[in-house]
Amino acid sequence: MSQSISTQEISRTHPAKTYNKNWQKVKAAIEGYLYLLPSLIILTIFVFIPIVTSFKLSLTRIAPFGNKTIDVGFGNYTRLFSDPDYLNSLKVSLLFTLSTVPTGLILAVTLAIALSYPLKRLSWFHRLLIFVPIVISSAVTGVLFKWIYHPVVGYLNYLLSLIGIQGPNWLSSKDWALISVAMAVVWRQLGFNVIIALAGIQNIDGTYYEAAKVDGANLWHRVRHITLPLLSPTLFFLFLINVINSLQTFGEINILTEGGPGGATNTMLYSIYYDAFVGTPFRGYASAQAYLLFILILIMSFLQFKGFGKKVHYQ
Amino acid sequence: MSASPLQTAKRKIHWGDVSLQLFLIGVGLLVAMPIFLAIFTSFKLPDDVTNYPPTLLPEVWTVENYITAWTSTPFWRFFANSLIQTGVIVFFQVFLSILAAYAFSVLEFPGRDLLFYVILASLMVPFQLTFIPNFLTISRWGKEVHEALGPNTYFALTIPFLASAFGIFLLRQFFLTIPKDLHDSAKIDGASNWRFLWQILVPLSKGSISAFGIFSFLSAWSQYLWPLVITDEETMRTIQIAVRFFLFDQERGADWGAVMASAVIALLPTLLIFLVAQRQLVKGIAMTGLKG
């Protein structure tokens, strides 16, 4: 108390000290900004400004002759919705999400339940084998599965032949190409999904199961009435992040099918890449597509961030 | 205490344990099988690779496919490119994230929290939106400023990724758990902010920093879309792109032995990291819900 009075007195009587204090504050602020500056510069140039330039770009197209850029307003956007190729890519992305996300989540929860049991032996070994895809890149995943799907000497068709089924030519069949890519992506995502689901399951209070046992609940009842409801924040989080991942899939498609056959695996992102970088570049048109994809992903990540607090709360 | 819906009342015979063991070993081998197949195939004789019916193990083990992969393209160059690209990204992401996280947790200045939310918001902007403008920016710098800032350079491969909002967020959360008294008493002892950061805070945060370093390494090494569009000279391709060379060989068709050898070389560094740091990696993913 007496100290604060004396400081006040001093600052009243010695204006130089106040000046000094303010200067300290300015110095501290400058120092703080300097620490942030490198990150801020990079993020501004390569993340924040592109949000704007990408939008501007989406309102233009290149004139057929020469390098002149023409302003077309929302022309690219309106054109998208009458472009059968783009409508097809919307459909493909939807189908792709529908074939990766539920499969991935069901597999992840099943395996996480199996791994949650405290086995005395080998549990490190099971985890090692099931988690390992998390470190495999999308390009390598594409290559590994291209070999498995090989129409003549591939392991998948060989195994099918053992049970008397003649396997299709997975990657060049319009009916099977998308599912083939989806299986590769489910594989790459599996480790991540199981890790998150397992962490969620292990955070459930063991006394719930004790109580259920007293009531004579069987395994299915325990999973259905305890595990799944209490896991729902985790499942919601996994659902969103898997939808986002499926919309961002690129490497596997590029290596396995290049968007083919006949557009069967031409997702929204692959269509953006194709229009912007393969053959004659239509970067304005591609940017309009990128913006629509951005809005879609933005909605998902917004929901994810809103739910994130809940997830942390559960831990 | 860890909980599992599989836990049942006292059991005398552990048949449940036995069948669960068998189930998990079966599933585990199935999941890891694509990697085993690639490794085994890569060691087969080039002529045996496409034999039918396909065998699991090589009849004769040989490194011929590796020699083909290593010598018929500048493969060491792709590998070196990936190492340089990944090394630069990891170094800067870790270094710059430490600096920014420090500012956001320990230092005090006006506008700090607002700036933090701005950086956090950048996590919501997907690379799929920014890669076209970024490609145009780099191409323009290459033409208008200097070739060294243009496509087909290490600069172009790395510059958009040198800062990481994820890393800043992760390290800030950890720095916040360190008692403020520590900083105050260091200041009284006359230590500058800079010295406090490197001599006290960073050594205390080794675990978090190395966890982020691993994330950063994995995602940088695995990059595909950006290296694919920003390089078109063969000598600047990264290893992830290089796996395409034997796959899409126009003249001879795919050389599967060499394809698998190059895939194994491409996955080896991340696989080693996984084997060494599996626990840390899994803990990091479970804690943050993110892969970096």
Selecting from A129, A137, A293 the residue whose C-beta is nearest the C-beta of B240 gives A137
All structural domains of chain B with their residue ranges: 15-65, 74-288
CA distance B218 to chain A (A): 7
pLDDT for res A93: 95
pLDDT for res B230: 95
CA-nearest residue of chain A to B38? A144
pLDDT for res B43: 94
pLDDT for res A315: 33
Confidence bin at B290 (pLDDT 50/70/90): low
Question: What does the pLDDT average to over B115-137?
Answer: 92
Lowest average pLDDT, out of B1-5, B75-79, B287-291, goes to B1-5
Whole-angstrom CA distances from A116 to B16, B30, B41 are 14, 19, 34
Q: Calculate the average pLDDT of chain B.
A: 89
Asked whether residue B50 carries a pLDDT value surpassing 90, the answer given is no
Give me the residues of chain A with pLDDT under 50, please. 1-11, 311-315
* A33:B240 CB<8 A: no
- Chain A environment of B241 (Cβ under 8 Å): 139
CA distance B230 to chain A (A): 10
% chain B with pLDDT above 90: 57
Residue A125 contacts residue B28 (beta carbons within 8 Å): yes
Confidence bin at B48 (pLDDT 50/70/90): confident
* A43:B119 CB<8 A: yes
* B134:A50 CB<8 A: yes
pLDDT for res A15: 61
DSSP 8-state class, residue A266: -
Fold that domain B74-288 belongs to in CATH: MetI-like fold (1.10.3720)
Integer Cα distance of B172 and B186 in angstroms? 19
* A125:B28 CB<8 A: yes
What is the value of ipTM here, to two decimals? Answer: 0.90
pLDDT for res A1: 39
Question: What does the pLDDT average to over B101-119?
Answer: 92
Question: What does the pLDDT average to over B49-63?
Answer: 87
Whole-angstrom CA distances from B255 to B43, B52, B56, B252, B261 are 13, 16, 18, 8, 10
CA-nearest residue of chain B to A315? B287
Whole-angstrom CA distances from A51 to B120, B132, B153 are 15, 11, 24
pLDDT in tens, A148-207: 999 888 899 999 999 988 888 999 999 999 999 999 999 999 999 999 999 989 888 888
Whole-angstrom CA distances from A244 to A134, A270, B156, B186 are 17, 15, 26, 44
CB atoms within 10 A of CB B269: 18
Residue of B47, B60, B34 lying closest to B255 (CA atoms)? B47
* A35:B107 CB<8 A: yes
